[in-house]
């Protein structure tokens, strides 16, 4: 079975796990999501997706939140179009599974402990990407709970 974790947003990430290990992880990109969902729709194995449930936050601009909402709706549409089974999960729910809070550095640390040797540094970057780490943790949450 395949497990997809999606941390939506500009600094988000996408991760794909299989029962046998990590298939890949990337910083969030619409082309990557299309490739992953198309791949999963062709596979004969079942798949599950954990998509972080997001909402507007105080003091965020209306234009940026509208744009973010459009992107989130696009993700939902792609998952539906490719018949990928998904659940939207509150951050506090999946983070509780790993003893996390809003500290992004802790998410990176826990991810490195669970998946030693995985690179959380996208091409052209120098530091670990918390969106990729959290996407991997959501994929692991899907493997454990969905």
Q: Domains, the chain, ranges and CATH? A: 2-145 (3.30.420.10)
Q: What is the pLDDT along the chain (146 residues), one digit of tens a residue?
A: 999 999 998 889 999 999 999 999 999 999 999 999 999 999 888 999 999 998 776 777 888 788 888 889 999 999 999 999 999 999 999 999 999 999 999 999 999 999 999 999 988 889 999 999 999 999 999 999 99
CA 70 remoteness from chain centre? 17
pTM of the model: 0.93
């Amino acid at each position: 079975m395949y497990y997809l974790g999606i941390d939506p947003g500009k600094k988000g990430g996408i991760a794909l796990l299989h029962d046998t290990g990590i298939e890949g992880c990337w910083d969030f990109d619409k082309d990557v999501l299309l490739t992953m969902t198309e791949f999963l729709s062709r596979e004969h194995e079942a798949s599950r997706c954990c998509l972080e449930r997001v909402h507007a936050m105080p003091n965020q601009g209306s234009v940026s939140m509208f744009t973010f909402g459009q992107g989130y709706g696009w993700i939902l549409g792609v998952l539906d179009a490719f018949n990928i089974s998904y659940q939207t999960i509150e951050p506090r729910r999946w983070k509780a599974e790993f003893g996390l809070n809003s500290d992004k550095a802790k998410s990176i640390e826990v991810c490195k402990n669970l998946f030693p040797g995985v690179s959380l540094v996208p091409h052209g970057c120098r530091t670990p990407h918390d969106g990729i780490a959290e996407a991997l943790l959501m994929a692991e949450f899907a493997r454990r709970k969905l």
